[in-house]
Amino acid sequence: MIQSKEIGRARRRIEGELKVTGQAKYAGEYQVPDLLHGYVVNATITKGRITSIDETAARAVPGVMEILHHERRLALPRFDIMYSDMDAPPGSPFRPLYDAKITFSGQPVALVVADTFEAARYAAALLNFTYEEVDFDVDLRANLEKAHKPAKGLATFIKPLPPNPRGDFSAAYADAEVRFEGEFHHASQHHNPLELFASTTVYEGPGKLTIYDKTQGTNNSQIYIANLFGLRFKDVRVIAPFVGGSFGSGLRPQYQLVMSVMAALTLKRNVRVTMDRSQMFTFGHRPETVQQTRFGATSDGELTAINHTAISETSSFEEYNEVVVNWGNMLYPAKNALLDYKIVPLDLYTPMDMRAPGGSTGMMAIETTIDQLADQLKMDPLEFRLRNYAERDVSADKPFSSKELRECYRQGAERFGWSDRHQEPRTNRRGNRLVGHGMSTGIWDVIALPGNASAKFTKKGRLIVKSAVTDNGQGTNTVMTQIAADQLGLPLEAVTFKYGKSKHPLSPVQGGSYTTGVIGSAVKLACLAVKNKLFKLAQIMDGFPLGDALPEDVDFIGGEIVLKQDPSVRIPLKDVIAFNRGKAVKASKSNIPNVFKLKQYTRAAHSAAFVEVEVDEQLGVVNVTRAVTAVAAGAIMNPQTARSQILGGMIWGISMALREETLLDTKLGKYVNTDLGEYHIPVHADIHELDVIFVEEKDEIINEIGAKGIGEIGLVSMAPAIVNAVYNATGKLVKVFPIKLGDLI
Amino acid sequence: MNNFKYLKADTPAAAIAAVADNAASNFVAGGTNLIDLWKYDLTHPDRLVDINGLSELKTITELPDGGLRLGALVSNAATAHHAIVRERYPLLSRAILAGATAQIRNSATNGGNLLQRTRCYYFYDAASPCNKRNPGSGCPAIEGHNRLHAILGYSQKCIAVFPSDMCVALAALEAVVQVAGPDGSREISFSDFHRLPGDHPERDNTLQPNELITSIDLPPTGFAPHHSYLKLRDRNSYAFALVSVATGFELENKTIKRARIALGGVAHQPWRVSAAEDLLVGKAPTAQSFGQAAGIILANAKGFGHNDFKIELARRAIIRNGLMALNPSSQRPGAQPSL
Amino acid sequence: MNSPPSATSHEVQLQINGKPAKLQLEPWVTLLDALRDHLDLTGSKKGCDHGQCGACTVICDGERILSCLTLGVMKNGSEITTIEGIAVEGEMHPLQKAFIDHDAFQCGYCTPGQICSGVALIAEGHAQTREEVKELMSGNLCRCGANTNIIDAIMEVKAGRYE
């Protein structure tokens, strides 16, 4: 084992200065010569077809260069497979500008290209479409009987469908001495990263493009665009050095990318297309979901029966799925479990993974149901969870690769002061405010995927590591640099991580909390390969200073190879490169998961959130006054950036429980609060004391670096803990989320 | 988002003449609402007449009767932080600071605050029907998402609400709006300034075309000892009121001598019912008294589904805010509930 | 990229980050688009273009404003400080340093607006308590959830720990 100097050490973000001084450039900010600006026009109907397009007024705006739409566009492929991408669910992906058919409100129908942003925007407003409208249906709750199981595909490999029933739920539920049955609902939510989706396409000559794209996967955009426009992969360079948040919205290429490329290829010019904020509500989103739970327990608190059903929306053209119901029986070893997940096609765009997809939805129902049972049992909800602690994942009949959830409970409860909680609701007050304490468990899969990285040690003594992966704010740049530095015993300053370019070694899309594990493992393997090569060179250096030392006989420290037995024997790595005639030492590695080993285990990160709320008794105003989340997620690469990730997840939990939802007008067939004024994400005044604990957890099974990932785990436990705390404060269980002003009066 | 011409005016008379000269001209001051509406393709000015150079409208001056004149072009922030406003009209200061954000309040002017348009979702979507924006096209809010919408004073044509916080306090303070037009100046009492939608929801107020607000005049009394502004909304800041209440009263021998209560977020104009204010005279400032006043204010309130909760919430808010007014120092940033 | 004069355009002189800038702007160009598209000062961010996120916050004549809700022509003669001008002669402003130390950003997109807003907030002097700072910073949204770190950074600078 190498000695960790950087891994596990709090480090400031390497790109921090660029971000705080305004020098960090995002996709829509590259000043390239003779840039043209595109503005997208969206359909104003929900379903039907375009019958005519009047371009007259739009073309008359000075500066307008081109108007693209289904009747005036480059050739596009005929087969669905050519429109697929790394995160496409089974079905027929949306084809921008393909034909006259309208399948959802806000569908992009045209692009106006002009010499200024303002001219394109004005002309876009003047482009006149007439439509033939047909009846549409966007109402999930009115169509629950149309629900069906999602089709199997690549998506269901990463996001598995529910396991088969275990035991006899009906009999066990009937026999249960304590039961809770509930129906839970939440509306759609949109990712709304602060950066608007944008692509700047640089026309480099026939068939050659450089694209600055807002994405979570440079290779995903590259392959997609090459397929769509019949270009060679190597001629499509996608660059995404800074990405202003994404939270899942960049897992699939969005339509501004297609449009900017089509315009660039059509006009043989450089073209930027940036969405506006309302257009950020015209693609993927967290699906509206209706859930039902029926859990039963014995009078001494043994959970015996779990039934959890979820029905979510999907589009008319793709079968989106997420893991909503699988978690309950992974966490609580009831012998009888009946889990079901279905989708209903509606005239909306296909949903898309949004931070902690499925898990955050499911846990809202599971963990509030667990608390309701504890309440009926007059048992402390933490004690009830410990009474039903799963030492093994009974739902899959596998051991956990590691599971320090018990320690999360213990440390979280202690830090929070859980023992002061009032078991009886409505008994804890501060002035006009009711005080409530609530908790919840969190769980998130450790996903294993292949990923690639290269490493190079140069004659200047620098280690250059590359991967096509993006850093959308998670801290990937800093963490990969730390991982790389440790492999060769280098200081952080001697390492550069190059990322966010499709030409670098292939990476899966950044998401699912797996990036640190997947790319971090590849980085480690590539650096170890370089280390090994350096050692082999050193072994044959003139004079054989290392003698017949084996790799385990030396340390790589501070840019030198040091003989453990006699630290006076040291070879500077620069000398090794000099011996190599000044040639850098390079290696590329793939991290290929050992599926045979991995599939023997259930692999998951865990968390426990403890929350205090104050609820104004008369006015129903809720504040999360303080919260502690304890996380067991394997090795923590950088406690500072990791803490920020968990804090972010907790704030998303506050938002899910108390703030955000996209309002769908089922009569008009469209979302109505499509701006940041009425789509409420938390403001600073909403956020009070938040605390994070990382519980020590070792896991040598999951991947090379033992990191489980932390992007989602802070969110999944937070929202239900708030709902439980509100119940503890008020005695009211709200099952329609978010809890809004007016729900508690 | 159409193209338009731009003219910077030097004097009020020149500004008024310029707007009168071109029917599709608009005054622009802070621009925080007008530019927003223009970008959403909801308003289509042919020319913007920039009045930011009219320095005579940029001052706050004391009036001979003991009142205070707030220049129409003084920013909301400068007004809220003005020493005399803070000392004598703290209700106004608190209401202003509960609205929008620090950045917007720095740009937004007092005159513009009175003229802001509703935040109804359907008004803001150019592709949706809306009687306010496109008379006769219909009102999808009545059967649609109407959480933000009116419970009082609505019509069958429009259930939108007026979104200002500042104006709720100005209504309670009984301010007077001074306006100048092509035919000279006139004053409009605050209660006559904003109108109910009736059959003409496209008209928000009684300002005539080409008229320019020059100042807002406050009367001598400002309820400094006993006032409170309470704003209830979907997040703690940076959101429009679902219900807000401005309360001010004068006490004599522990009973109310004079009281003013205005509600925001519930109607097409700041909502006052003088019978309720009269009822409080001679009563002790208790939850019971304020509850009786609330009963009168909300007697005819009706919800449209998503906003039904506002009726009970407004009743409770009136009571709470009355009690908060007894102890103004307890009030919190953002006009959040205290006590 | 500077546009040539046209029948409708206006000459606009600004003092930006201490340097004069002369622009020929159409009336319908917002200050934000003038900064980003005409002056390549892309540090001021467009997150909503409607005054609902705060990412475009700049300091204009000493006051923080939203550059997306004002027109370039309306600011003729103004002094404007953008995020690119917050550091002085290569030395970062204390709040910029505090943001790095407190990890007060993740993706970095709201950051310039948060910092411009925070610098102005400190200068305004209206906010003393943490609760007041949170209220007066609420015009700047952060979607990554760096809220507590942002407020920590501002409180530290306000307390003089970065002098």
Asked if residue B102 and residue B86 are part of one domain, the reply reads yes
Residue A672 with chain B: CB contacts under 8 Å:
121-122, 125, 128, 144-145
Whether A20 and C82 lie within 8 Å, measured CB to CB: no
Spatial CA neighbour of A130 closest among A194, A53, A227: A53
Q: How many domains is chain B built from?
A: 3
- State what percent of residues in chain C have pLDDT above 70: 98
Spatial CA neighbour of C96 closest among A21, B77, B285: A21
- Residue ending a domain, among C28, C52, C85, is C85
Q: What is the pTM of this model?
A: 0.98
CATH number for the domain that contains residue C108: 1.10.150.120
Asked if residue B145 is part of any domain, the answer here is no
Asked if residue B234 and residue B196 are part of one domain, the reply reads no
Asked if residue B46 is part of any domain, the answer here is yes
Nearest Cα of chain B lies from the Cα of A434 at a distance, in angstroms, of 12
Asked if residue C50 and residue C102 are part of one domain, the reply reads no
Asked if residue B206 and residue B95 are part of one domain, the reply reads yes
Using DSSP, state whether C98 is helix, strand or coil: helix
Whether B145 and A673 lie within 8 Å, measured CB to CB: yes
Alpha carbons B154 and B131: distance in angstroms, whole number: 13
Asked if residue C163 is part of any domain, the answer here is no
Q: Which two tokens stand for residue C66?
A: 């939203």
- Residue ending a domain, among C85, C114, C134, is C85
Given a cut of 80, is residue A24 above it in pLDDT?
yes
Asked if residue B30 and residue B74 are part of one domain, the reply reads no
pLDDT tens for A577-622 read 999 999 999 999 999 999 999 999 999 999 999 999 999 999 999 9
C-chain residue closest to A62, CA distance: C6
Which pLDDT value is given to residue C2?
Answer: 52
Nearest Cα of chain B lies from the Cα of C27 at a distance, in angstroms, of 6
Residue C144 with chain A: CB contacts under 8 Å:
245, 473, 644, 648
The minimal CB distance from B107 to the residues C70, C121, C132 is found for C70
Provide the Cα torsion B279, B285, B288, B290; round to 10°: 60
Spatial CA neighbour of B176 closest among B96, B92, B69: B69
Alpha carbons A199 and A54: distance in angstroms, whole number: 27
Tokens 């793709």, located at residue: A318
- What count of other Cβ atoms lies within 10 Å of the Cβ of residue A296? 24
Residue A59's Cβ-count burial label (10 Å; 0-12, 13-18, 19+) is middle
Tell me the average pLDDT across B208-220.
96
Which pLDDT value is given to residue A205?
Answer: 97
Alpha carbons A481 and A496: distance in angstroms, whole number: 6
- Residue ending a domain, among C85, C107, C127, is C85
Which pLDDT value is given to residue A75?
Answer: 97
- Residue ending a domain, among B218, B241, B263, is B218
Dihedral sign of CA atoms A155, A157, A158, A164 in order: positive
CATH number for the domain that contains residue B65: 3.30.465.10
Given a cut of 70, is residue C6 above it in pLDDT?
yes
Asked if residue B66 is part of any domain, the answer here is yes
Using DSSP, state whether A103 is helix, strand or coil: coil
B-chain residue closest to A117, CA distance: B1
Alpha carbons C11 and B230: distance in angstroms, whole number: 45
Residue B329 with chain C: CB contacts under 8 Å:
none
Least confident of A561-570, B116-125, B194-203, C127-136: A561-570
Asked if residue B202 is part of any domain, the answer here is yes
Asked if residue B42 and residue B9 are part of one domain, the reply reads yes
Alpha carbons B186 and C151: distance in angstroms, whole number: 47
Which pLDDT value is given to residue B231?
Answer: 98
The answer to whether A39 contacts chain C (CB < 8 Å) is: no
The minimal CB distance from C109 to the residues A194, A276, A690 is found for A194
What DSSP letter does each residue of A626-640 carry, written as one string?
EEEEEEE-B--S-HH
B-chain residue closest to C137, CA distance: B102
Whether C109 and A195 lie within 8 Å, measured CB to CB: yes
Give all chains having 3 or more CB-to-CB distances under 8 Å with chain B. A, C
Residue A598's Cβ-count burial label (10 Å; 0-12, 13-18, 19+) is middle
Asked if residue B324 and residue B178 are part of one domain, the reply reads no
Asked if residue C40 is part of any domain, the answer here is yes
Residue A281 with chain C: CB contacts under 8 Å:
none
From edge to edge, which strands make up the β-sheet containing A451-457? A495-498, A463-466, A451-457, A585-591
Q: How many domains is chain C built from?
A: 2
Tokens 């599926």, located at residue: A595
Nearest Cα of chain A lies from the Cα of C77 at a distance, in angstroms, of 23
Which pLDDT value is given to residue A401?
Answer: 98
Q: Who's near B34: CB < 8 A, 6+ residues apart?
A: B26, B28, B43, B45, B48, B112
Give all chains having 3 or more CB-to-CB distances under 8 Å with chain C. A, B
Residue A14 with chain C: CB contacts under 8 Å:
none
pLDDT tens for C78-121 read 999 999 999 988 899 999 999 999 999 999 999 999 999 999 99
Give all chains having 3 or more CB-to-CB distances under 8 Å with chain A. B, C
- Residue ending a domain, among B173, B198, B218, is B218
Asked if residue B269 and residue B213 are part of one domain, the reply reads no
A-chain residue closest to C98, CA distance: A20
Which pLDDT value is given to residue A1?
Answer: 44
Alpha carbons A102 and A79: distance in angstroms, whole number: 19
Least confident of A1-5, A508-512, A624-628: A1-5
Which pLDDT value is given to residue B42?
Answer: 97
Asked if residue C40 and residue C63 are part of one domain, the reply reads yes
Crossing angle of helices B90-97 and B166-173, in 10° steps, is 160
Asked if residue C3 is part of any domain, the answer here is no
Domains annotated for chain A, with CATH where assigned, are: 35-135+193-276 (3.90.1170.50), 143-179+285-445+599-744 (3.30.365.10), 449-592 (3.30.365.10)
The answer to whether A140 contacts chain C (CB < 8 Å) is: no
Residue C66 with chain B: CB contacts under 8 Å:
32, 103-104, 107
B-chain residue closest to C48, CA distance: B36
Which pLDDT value is given to residue A547?
Answer: 82
Asked if residue B43 and residue B66 are part of one domain, the reply reads no
Spatial CA neighbour of C121 closest among C140, C101, C106, C105: C140
Whether C106 and A474 lie within 8 Å, measured CB to CB: yes
Alpha carbons A546 and A524: distance in angstroms, whole number: 24
How many CA atoms does the CB half-sphere of A130 hold within 13 Å? 4
Q: How many CB pairs under 8 A join A and B?
A: 96
B-chain residue closest to C55, CA distance: B103
Tokens 């280390």, located at residue: A531
The minimal CB distance from B125 to the residues A122, A672, A740 is found for A672
Q: Who's near B138: CB < 8 A, 6+ residues apart?
A: B129, B130, B131
Whether A647 and C41 lie within 8 Å, measured CB to CB: no
Residue C120 with chain B: CB contacts under 8 Å:
102
Which pLDDT value is given to residue C9?
Answer: 96
Residue C107 with chain A: CB contacts under 8 Å:
193-195, 242-246, 472-473
Given a cut of 70, is residue C4 above it in pLDDT?
no
Q: Who's near C160: CB < 8 A, 6+ residues apart?
A: none
Tokens 């108007």, located at residue: A67
pLDDT tens for A426-453 read 999 999 999 999 999 999 999 999 999 9
Partners of A186 in beta bridges = A289, A737
DSSP symbol at B262: E
Whether B102 and C71 lie within 8 Å, measured CB to CB: no
What DSSP letter does each residue of A433-450 carry, written as one string?
EEEEEEEEEEEEE-----
C-chain residue closest to A640, CA distance: C103
Best of B6, B151, B231, B236 to disrupt the A interface (most A CBs within 10 Å) is: B236
Alpha-carbon distances of B16 from A662, B19, B213, rounded to whole Å = 43, 5, 10
Asked if residue B200 and residue B326 are part of one domain, the reply reads no
CATH number for the domain that contains residue B9: 3.30.43.10
Residue A520's Cβ-count burial label (10 Å; 0-12, 13-18, 19+) is buried
**Which of residues 479 through 538 in chain A touch C, CB cutoff 8 A?**
none
Domain that holds residue B273: 227-331
The minimal CB distance from C143 to the residues A192, A274, A650 is found for A192
Asked if residue C67 and residue C133 are part of one domain, the reply reads no
Asked if residue C74 and residue C20 are part of one domain, the reply reads yes
Nearest Cα of chain C lies from the Cα of B312 at a distance, in angstroms, of 27
The answer to whether C112 contacts chain B (CB < 8 Å) is: no
The minimal CB distance from B39 to the residues C49, C63, C65 is found for C49
Asked if residue C106 is part of any domain, the answer here is yes
Q: Who's near A143: CB < 8 A, 6+ residues apart?
A: A137, A344, A346
Q: How many CB pairs under 8 A join B and C?
A: 94
Q: Which two tokens stand for residue A385?
A: 């969870």
Spatial CA neighbour of A104 closest among A61, A134, A84: A134
Sequence-distant contacts of B184-190: CB under 8 A, at least 24 apart: B185/B214, B187/B217, B190/B270
Whether B106 and C50 lie within 8 Å, measured CB to CB: no
Asked if residue C5 is part of any domain, the answer here is no
Domain that holds residue C121: 94-158
The minimal CB distance from B103 to the residues C10, C135, C139 is found for C139
pLDDT tens for A392-416 read 999 999 999 999 999 999 999 999 9
Q: Which two tokens stand for residue A122?
A: 């004005």
Cis peptide before A738 (omega within 30 of 0): yes
DSSP symbol at A344: E
Whether B333 and A685 lie within 8 Å, measured CB to CB: yes
Give the ipTM.
0.98
Asked if residue B205 is part of any domain, the answer here is yes
Whether C66 and B104 lie within 8 Å, measured CB to CB: yes
Given a cut of 70, is residue C3 above it in pLDDT?
no
Asked if residue B106 and residue B179 are part of one domain, the reply reads yes
Whether C29 and A20 lie within 8 Å, measured CB to CB: no
Dihedral sign of CA atoms A632, A635, A639, A643 in order: negative
Which pLDDT value is given to residue B23?
Answer: 84
Tell me the average pLDDT across B35-48.
97
Residues A669 and A138 sit within 8 Å (Cβ to Cβ): yes
pLDDT tens for A271-316 read 999 999 999 999 999 999 999 999 999 999 999 999 999 999 999 9
CATH number for the domain that contains residue C81: 3.10.20.30
- What count of other Cβ atoms lies within 10 Å of the Cβ of residue B208? 12
Alpha carbons A311 and A146: distance in angstroms, whole number: 10
The torsion angles phi and psi of A171, rounded to 5 degrees, stand at -65, -45
Whether B106 and C64 lie within 8 Å, measured CB to CB: yes
Residue B310 with chain A: CB contacts under 8 Å:
742
Asked if residue B269 and residue B301 are part of one domain, the reply reads yes
Asked if residue B172 and residue B269 are part of one domain, the reply reads no
